Structure 1
Amino acid sequence: MTAQPDFAFDYPLLKELTEAHGVPGYEDRIRELVRREFDGHVDHVQSDAMGNVVGTIDGASDYEVVIAAHMDEIGFIVRHVTDDGFLQLDALGGWDPAVLKAQRVVVHTDDGDLTGVIGSVPPHTLAEEQKKKEPKVEDVFVDLGLPGEEANERVTVGDLVSMEQTTTVVGNTVTGKSLDDRVCLFAMLEAAKRIENPAVTIHFAATVQEEVGLRGAEALGVDLDPDLALALDVTVANDVPGFKPGDYVTTLGEGAGIKLKDGSVITNPKVNKRLRAVAAEHDIPRQPEILPAGGTDTGGLQNSSGAKPVGAISVPTRYLHTVAESAHYADIEATIDLLTQFLTSETGQHDYSL
């Protein structure tokens, strides 16, 4: 039996969050966990028609800060059930089809969850032309191990499909599915539990549909109209064979990422400077992050209800958008500490205007 890891954070909660299922637009199970964890730690909780959940700690001033981390994970929706009982899928979020072969999945039906397997044809049965064919998500099919008639009775078009994977500790990393972005959702919840009597009002927002276009954050920014916004998300740690150090986005174990840009946003230089200053003051490991492509909720919040000063803290993560996403425990701790110290020291008097 594996010993309980001695982390400076609530590993069982992180494991529960990452193993739970919630694809874009259907984050119900995660919402329940978020509401449960907010209970007793925030002054009030609200949600909207899209499913964003916001826990607010009232501050001593009218200055408002939004912290956002998304609840959804990439997954699929059933688009067809064949007469033979195989499921054909439409992607919810960005998948590399090469990582999907022979993976177990969970099909979420009105009558309960079903386990299925993504089919993989043995290579020695393939013709040379078939072996050279580029894999596509639309060619993926799920085998439920059921007769065609029963499969058609139990599964309907529109049912959701998510990956089945347990979360475990591998060396110094936490590894599993949906660390994108449950590890940051977890960091946000941990910070909310540590903050008391802030000088400013803080809205901790668990957002929806980030993986399909930052949709929840964009709507949230209109409803809340904050004075300052920070998003939390994972970022690429490509410090692995095949990449040169100059091409690394971040390095595992080197601390929380302070985002300078990604494909959706250029963050506010003054917010970045204060994040770096807070990290230095409290000896929190940190590293700069420049992500060449890909977006985060930071971009969704930057110009909602007009221009907003935004920043982002990132958890370096290897093997993104797979069932083996891996984050170093020290980077998780650094992210929680940096967010907590940044919010604790936010007075509403810092000038982020350019």
Structure 2
Amino acid sequence: MDSVPFDLDVLTELTETSGVPGYEDRIRARVIDHLEDSVDRVRTDAMGNVVGTLEGEDDDYSVAVAAHMDEIGFMVRHVRGEEDGPGFLELDALGGWDARVLKAQRVTIHTTEGDLPGVIGSPPPHTLDEDDRTKTPEVEDAFVDPGLPYEVLEERVSPGDLVTMEQTTELMGETVTGKALDDRVCLFAMLEAAERLEDPDVTVHFCATVQEEVGLRGAQALGVDVDPDLAIALDVTVANDVPGFKAGEHVTNLGEGTAIKLKDSSVITSPKVHRRLQSVADDEEIDSQLEILPAGGTDTAGFQNVAGAKPVGAISIPTRYLHTVTETAHVDDIAATIDLLEAFLASEDGEHDYTL
């Protein structure tokens, strides 16, 4: 593919920037930089959520759009080693990891004195006994090898320091692949829609949330603090359209359009909201598909009832290989998500009845 219908450099910047739950500092700074020219004001809160507000003609009605900033990662729980020997790091997971994908991956250790490279250890299989070869891996068994003596490592790394996966973002055929597309690709879509949207009829709060990967915590706080009349969340969703899965297990398919969520394990979206999303997609000839996700939660649920019952909907980007360093999304689905969000917000006048 010679070109993509959006700014790939910005998407690359967002996906490659580190920011685990509770420590989203670096990605938060980039979000603020991108939002400031698109909205009337930007604020942050005590948890680190970012809210960029674009005032509408009707300031009595507001819509919250949410995409989370945090990526899954780790916190150092122990610096391990012996005098005159090598040093290693033991980890505590921040978010849901599949231990099968961790071995032999490059990582970055974020310390108060700067970043250090490391690798997650993976002993050669022919040196393992039968029990170790067949053992189901656990996240707690993973260790980081920074290539330093124990005495040096103990001085440079402390419990509480953070670890993120090290991976570049690449254009691969008709797709984009890399780490942290969950949820930086949707964060990117939100920022692009904010840049395009002009003079909305209603006030729109563009919310970059924190700590989604550990329980939708930032969105729950904003559900109270922002207290919108309508909330739309953006997140990636499962695309199991690969060998080994039946068609009914795909959830979504890459290249078939943005996904309009009907349910996941945390929320059943408001029928009138997802029907209007579908209507806008049809009217604007934006490719779309329906998402019925059997497991997994999103910020959608964080806004639904924390400050009283609210109508909620969600737009998802189909993504293969979630919670790995090779998450993969189709460029056309990303573009369709931006188009649908912009068209939905531009057509929201505060007069639609979402009550049941």
1:99-118 → structure 2 map (5 Å cutoff): 99-118=101-120
The separation in 2 between residues aligned to 1:349 and 1:38, in whole angstroms, is: 27
Q: Which runs of 5+ in 1 are unaligned?
A: none
Partner of 1:64: 62
1:246 Cα deviation after fit = 1.5
The separation in 2 between residues aligned to 1:105 and 1:251, in whole angstroms, is: 30
Partner of 1:337: 339
The separation in 2 between residues aligned to 1:40 and 1:144, in whole angstroms, is: 40
The separation in 2 between residues aligned to 1:246 and 1:224, in whole angstroms, is: 38
The separation in 2 between residues aligned to 1:315 and 1:337, in whole angstroms, is: 12
SS at match of 1:321: coil
One-letter amino acid matched to 1:302: Q
Deviation track 1:243-283 (CA, whole Å, cap 9, x = no partner) reads 11112100000000000000100000000110000000000
1:162 to 161, 164, 169: 164
Partner of 2:329: 327
Partner of 2:72: 74
The separation in 1 between residues aligned to 2:284 and 2:96, in whole angstroms, is: 37
Would you say 1:262 and 2:270 are equivalent positions? no
One-letter amino acid matched to 2:171: V
1:85 Cα deviation after fit = 1.2
The separation in 1 between residues aligned to 2:355 and 2:176, in whole angstroms, is: 38
The separation in 1 between residues aligned to 2:112 and 2:322, in whole angstroms, is: 30
Would you say 1:39 and 2:36 are equivalent positions? yes
SS at match of 1:206: strand
1:304-315 → structure 2 map (5 Å cutoff): 304-315=306-317
1:168 Cα deviation after fit = 0.2
Deviation track 1:140-178 (CA, whole Å, cap 9, x = no partner) reads 000000011001000000000000000001110000000
Partner of 2:182: 180
1:154-233 → structure 2 map (5 Å cutoff): 154-233=156-235
Q: Which runs of 5+ in 2 are unaligned?
A: none
The separation in 2 between residues aligned to 1:144 and 1:98, in whole angstroms, is: 20
The separation in 1 between residues aligned to 2:8 and 2:142, in whole angstroms, is: 34
One-letter amino acid matched to 1:30: I
With normalisation by structure 1, the TM-score equals: 0.98
- Count of paired positions: 351
The separation in 1 between residues aligned to 2:279 and 2:102, in whole angstroms, is: 42
1:132 Cα deviation after fit = 1.4
SS at match of 1:82: strand
Structure 1 moving runs of 4+ over 6 Å: none
One-letter amino acid matched to 2:32: R
Partner of 2:52: 55
One-letter amino acid matched to 2:69: M
SS at match of 2:167: coil
SS at match of 2:184: helix
The separation in 2 between residues aligned to 1:224 and 1:20, in whole angstroms, is: 27
Cα root mean square deviation, aligned: 0.7
The separation in 2 between residues aligned to 1:132 and 1:316, in whole angstroms, is: 32
The separation in 2 between residues aligned to 1:324 and 1:105, in whole angstroms, is: 14
The separation in 2 between residues aligned to 1:288 and 1:280, in whole angstroms, is: 13
1:313 Cα deviation after fit = 0.1
2:142 to 140, 143, 154: 140
The separation in 2 between residues aligned to 1:311 and 1:100, in whole angstroms, is: 33
Would you say 1:27 and 2:24 are equivalent positions? yes
1:39 Cα deviation after fit = 1.7
1:286-301 → structure 2 map (5 Å cutoff): 286-301=288-303
One-letter amino acid matched to 1:99: V
Would you say 1:17 and 2:19 are equivalent positions? no
1:63 Cα deviation after fit = 0.4
1:36 Cα deviation after fit = 0.4
1:133 Cα deviation after fit = 1.3
1:51 Cα deviation after fit = 0.2
The separation in 2 between residues aligned to 1:197 and 1:257, in whole angstroms, is: 26
The separation in 2 between residues aligned to 1:206 and 1:129, in whole angstroms, is: 45
SS at match of 1:222: helix
Partner of 1:252: 254
The separation in 1 between residues aligned to 2:46 and 2:92, in whole angstroms, is: 24
Would you say 1:6 and 2:3 are equivalent positions? yes
The separation in 2 between residues aligned to 1:190 and 1:56, in whole angstroms, is: 14
1:192 Cα deviation after fit = 0.2
Same amino acid, percent of matched pairs: 69
The separation in 2 between residues aligned to 1:148 and 1:235, in whole angstroms, is: 41
The separation in 1 between residues aligned to 2:268 and 2:195, in whole angstroms, is: 30
One-letter amino acid matched to 1:8: P
